[in-house]
Amino acid sequence: MAVPPTSEPRSAPTRRWVRFLPGAGGILSEPWNLRLSKPKRRCLDRYHHAHGATSGRDGEPLSSARSSFSMRVTTDSARPPRRQPVPAPSGSRRRERDMATYIFAGGGSAGHALPGIRIAETMREQGHNAVLVGSRASIEERLCAHYGLPFHAVTTGRLSRARKLSVFGAAFRTLQGALQARAILRRIRPDGVFSSGGFASVPVVLAARSLGVRPIVTHACDLGPGLANRMCLPLSTHLTCTFADTCKAFPKGNFVGPIVDPAILARDDDAAPRKGKPRLLVYGGSLGAAAINDKLRRSLPELLPDFDVFHVCGQGRLDAGLDGLGGYEQHEYVMAFSDVLKASDIAICRGGSGSLWELVLTGTPHLAVPLPLSVSRGDQIENCRHFERRGATRWMDQDTFLAAPLAPALRELWAGRDTIRAAMRAITPERPAAQAVSDILQGHLHADRH
């Protein structure tokens, strides 16, 4: 049967390419009206010859058909075999797929890195995967290597309060880190993100929000959220707080308490006191404190008759001239810090929230020296005042600490240890914070708790 010619004018030919659709019994094409070039006709000839297709008109090849016609292509041969489905994973591969994966971000200091590591350890104990993201060559990277946690490094931007123009470089590095974190999150596909503060957490929270990851939990360690936490808070679904007072200012706040090493919580108040001189622990945080180090070393002659001194001075701050001095021991950093805390009787420290809570939970009387306002936003001073009102902390500003004699202040502190320890027991939280944060990440808690 002859095909009637098309009424379409030659000046405006219809040029539509063939659309092949899979169907039962073969490859089908819609009725079409087209004007094919020779290369396209040869391509179709090769395709239909390979699959046994005909033009529908006495079995002639497609290229011999007219340039304008209507037809339906059918096949007489068996259709190609379907692709075999991928077998379902079994054994360890199935278990890996069933486990949830969580990203933990934060760093710049141990106070910002350790909360995420504590939660990561809790999640691993529950059978989930935990991955940490932070800065390159940082304290969080060394801590992850110590605890055996997978770590990914991104570019981070730190804002310097002394240099106002650093905001431009910090913003550029933060955006660069956010792109790197986005690539990491697309590959890992996490089920939730936990940010423990510090400039290393901002790129990860930006990337998580851009990819629609839920939940995003930001943790406020101090009474007042820092700059990094304030940047992350609008992008987060939950805010967990170390202090109950912090939750009152934020609608999405959840009070969980301090996130500390579980070994610290397992203290024995009825243990027999250590014999000999009291052990004085002196540390200025993971990065050290030059002012505290210098004051302590100048005061050693008057301290060593009454105390054994264990000094954590920070990386690169060891004094080789004091090696071998009786009653004095110095270290750059101690990974198993919970053991050092439980073995100490009295302490000198900075005013970070993590440090103060660890000393409170171990029942260690302490003298805090918060960072001055010239180099901080005053968060450590607020922390010290909070604990002082509850009778758990004694503190001095840095100028007073450097000018006053150290030995009399420590003797007075040691004399009132029983009263201080009673105040510490009164503010000890009942529930471990790590479990509360774990419940929020897994979606077990939906309402804000103040």
Residue 290 lies in a domain: yes
Number of other residues whose CB lies within 10 A of the CB of residue 386: 19
Last residue of a domain, one of 64, 87, 118: 64
pLDDT at 113: 92
Residue 445: pLDDT above 60?
Answer: no
Residue 147: pLDDT above 50?
Answer: yes
Tell me the backbone φ, ψ of residue 309, rounded to 5 degrees: -105, 125
Domain identity same for 304 and 225: no
Domain identity same for 421 and 436: no
Residue 81: pLDDT above 70?
Answer: no
Overall average pLDDT of the 237-252 stretch: 90
Residue 26: pLDDT above 80?
Answer: no
Average pLDDT, the chain: 81
Q: Residues of the chain with pLDDT > 90: what percent?
A: 55
pLDDT band at residue 167, thresholds of 50, 70 and 90? confident
pTM of the entire predicted model: 0.73
Residue 86: pLDDT above 80?
Answer: no
pLDDT digits (tens, 9 = 90+) for 210-223: 999 999 999 999 88
Residue 200 lies in a domain: yes
Residue 10 lies in a domain: no
Domain identity same for 418 and 436: no
Residue 241 lies in a domain: yes
Overall average pLDDT of the 324-338 stretch: 92
> CA 276, 260, 123, 154 torsion: positive or negative?
negative
Residue 75 lies in a domain: no
Domain identity same for 129 and 43: no
pLDDT band at residue 11, thresholds of 50, 70 and 90? very low
Domain identity same for 215 and 344: no
Strand 192-195 to 253-255 pairing: unpaired
Report how many domains make up the chain: 3
Residue 190 lies in a domain: yes
Residue 83 lies in a domain: no
Helix intervals (H) in 130-236 = 139-147, 166-188, 202-210, 227-232
Q: What is the 3-state secondary structure (H, E, C) of 56-112?
A: CCCCCCHHHCCCCCCCCCCECCCCCCCCCCCCCCCCHHHHHHHCCEEEEECCCCHHH
Residue 244: pLDDT above 70?
Answer: yes
Q: Which comes out higher in pLDDT, residue 376 or 141? A: 141
Domain identity same for 298 and 399: yes
pLDDT digits (tens, 9 = 90+) for 277-326: 999 999 987 666 899 999 999 999 999 999 999 999 988 899 999 999 99
Q: What's at 304, amino acid-wise?
A: L
pLDDT at 443: 84
Overall average pLDDT of the 15-39 stretch: 44
pLDDT band at residue 73, thresholds of 50, 70 and 90? very low
Task: Write the CATH number for 185.
Answer: 3.40.50.2000
Q: By C-alpha distance, which of 161, 110, 105 is closest to 287?
A: 110
- How many Å separate Cα 302 from the centre of its chain? 44
Domain identity same for 414 and 294: yes
Domain identity same for 222 and 282: no
Domain identity same for 191 and 135: yes
Domain identity same for 202 and 250: yes
pLDDT at 68: 37
pLDDT at 75: 40
Q: Which residue segment(s) compose the domain that 32 sits in?
A: 20-64
pLDDT digits (tens, 9 = 90+) for 183-198: 999 999 999 999 999 8
Domain identity same for 275 and 372: yes
Q: Which of 94-98, 153-157, 163-167 has the lowest mean pLDDT?
A: 94-98
Domain identity same for 57 and 190: no
pLDDT band at residue 235, thresholds of 50, 70 and 90? very high
Residue 92 lies in a domain: no
pLDDT at 109: 85
pLDDT band at residue 91, thresholds of 50, 70 and 90? very low
